[in-house]
Amino acid sequence: MVSPLSLRAQKGLYYFIISPFSGTFKKQYALQVVSPKNVFMNTSCKKLFFLIFAIAALQTGKLGAQADVVDKIVMLDGEEKKGQVTEMGDTYIKFVHQGETLTYTVKKEEINKIQFSSGRVEFITESKKESPGNPLQSSMQSHHNLVAILPFSYIGLGGSRDEKMAIKAQADCYSYFQKNAGQFSYQDPITTNAILIKHGMNGDNIMGFTPGELAAMLGTEYVVFCTVSIMLRGTSTGSGTYYSNKGQGKKNTGYVVGGSSTSNEFTTSVDMKIYTDQGQNVFTQSHQSFWPTENAYEVTLQYLIKRTPLYHK
């Protein structure tokens, strides 16, 4: 490992001096500047530059990622607190606001839920019904725990989009989530699609909007993206089965059940992503169905839904 670098100019040359942490040995690399647009570097200098820039970029990326991913506390009055939950007690939690160091104690009885940076959602206190006499509070609470399932991208045989199956898959997903909704509410797909159409959105341009923009447009806290891909794997041929009646004393008699048939086999993959209204991804997973039938996406959807932070037994 080396210590920080020093740079000095002498007679048109730039010298990089690298000093080890121990010892007095110094090794110099010369960099001759030919012109402002044509700079010659020896191989050692190039490697050194690349190493420094790579380390700096990696550290910057890590810091940026850490700054974006935080815990979010949603209070019963709709207020949101972002930062880090440091301790969970029986009647309280300890919390540090984003960008601060002071630790606060928050009573659990005032908290609706905690959405952890990992994507896990833990409900603390059930939300009370919105008070019609407090429109501001009602507005703050209205989108919390509300989920919109966006129109599916359904890629059928031949790689073409099947709009009819996309609508059916979206409705199926809505029904599966509804069965185990817990404290979450799900926007009816008819309402979701109507809002998107009024804003001029369709399957071609919806990807031009961020998850946060879509959630704000739909008035929800979460948006669910889903893609179903189906490919023809091959065909299988089956034949009838002959059953003998010899055991019943009827020599050389029997019957055939079924006949020869050919059926198609499919490979079905489902990709699901869930984002918050802040654009944070809380769930991403893909799964390929074991079943070879064309409607195998239904079982695969249920498999994925049970693994989302929105699913409650």
Task: Give the CATH number, domain containing residue 181.
Answer: 3.40.50.10610
Q: Are residues 30 and 59 in the same domain?
A: yes
Computed over every residue of the chain, the mean pLDDT equals: 77
Which distant-in-sequence residues (6+ apart) come within 8 Å of 13 by Cβ?
30, 31, 32, 33
User: What is the arithmetic mean of pLDDT over 154-180?
Assistant: 92
* Secondary structure of residue 21 in the 3-state scheme: coil
**Length of the chain (residues):** 313
Whether 140 is in a domain gets the answer: no
pLDDT bin (cut points 50, 70, 90) of residue 13 is very low
pLDDT bin (cut points 50, 70, 90) of residue 4 is very low
Whether 156 is in a domain gets the answer: yes
Q: Kindly tell me if the per-residue pLDDT of 47 is higher than 70.
A: no
Distance of CA 144 to the CA centre of its chain: 19
Q: Are residues 102 and 62 in the same domain?
A: no
What was the pLDDT predicted at 139?
Answer: 46
What was the pLDDT predicted at 48?
Answer: 59
Q: Are 312 and 181 contacting, i.e. CB atoms less than 8 angstroms apart?
A: yes
Q: Are residues 14 and 108 in the same domain?
A: no
Q: Are residues 28 and 116 in the same domain?
A: no
| Residues paired with 137 in a beta bridge | none
Rounded Cα distance between 294 and 285, Å, is: 21
Low-confidence winner among 44-48, 99-103, 219-223, 277-281 (lowest mean pLDDT): 44-48
* Final residue of a structural domain among 130, 154, 176: 130
User: What is the arithmetic mean of pLDDT over 272-298?
Assistant: 92
Q: Are residues 157 and 14 in the same domain?
A: no
* Secondary structure of residue 202 in the 3-state scheme: coil
pLDDT bin (cut points 50, 70, 90) of residue 300 is very high
* Final residue of a structural domain among 32, 66, 100: 66
User: What is the arithmetic mean of pLDDT over 8-22?
Assistant: 45
Q: Are residues 232 and 103 in the same domain?
A: no
CATH number reported for the structural domain that contains residue 105 in this entry: 2.30.30
Q: Kindly tell me if the per-residue pLDDT of 152 is higher than 80.
A: yes
Whether 90 is in a domain gets the answer: yes
Q: Kindly tell me if the per-residue pLDDT of 191 is higher than 90.
A: yes
Q: Are residues 150 and 295 in the same domain?
A: yes
Q: Kindly tell me if the per-residue pLDDT of 134 is higher than 90.
A: no
pLDDT bin (cut points 50, 70, 90) of residue 65 is very low
User: What is the arithmetic mean of pLDDT over 17-28?
Assistant: 45
Q: Are residues 186 and 287 in the same domain?
A: yes
Q: Are residues 62 and 188 in the same domain?
A: no
Measured CA angle at 162 (ends 179, 301), to 5 deg: 25
User: What is the arithmetic mean of pLDDT over 55-75?
Assistant: 64
pLDDT bin (cut points 50, 70, 90) of residue 293 is confident
Whether 141 is in a domain gets the answer: no
Q: Are residues 94 and 40 in the same domain?
A: no
Q: Comparing 283 with 38, which gets the higher pLDDT?
A: 283
Q: Are residues 80 and 22 in the same domain?
A: no
Q: Are 127 and 183 contacting, i.e. CB atoms less than 8 angstroms apart?
A: yes
What was the pLDDT predicted at 194?
Answer: 96
The answer, as to whether pTM is greater than 0.85, is no
Say how many domains are in the chain.
3
Q: Kindly tell me if the per-residue pLDDT of 172 is higher than 70.
A: yes
Whether 313 is in a domain gets the answer: no
Rounded Cα distance between 116 and 126, Å, is: 18
Low-confidence winner among 2-11, 73-82, 122-131, 205-214 (lowest mean pLDDT): 2-11
Distance of CA 146 to the CA centre of its chain: 17
The residue segments making up the domain with residue 123 are 71-130
AA identity, residue 263: S
Q: Are 16 and 45 contacting, i.e. CB atoms less than 8 angstroms apart?
A: yes
Q: Are residues 47 and 182 in the same domain?
A: no
Q: Are 224 and 186 contacting, i.e. CB atoms less than 8 angstroms apart?
A: no
What was the pLDDT predicted at 186?
Answer: 96
Residue 174 structure tokens: 């809505």
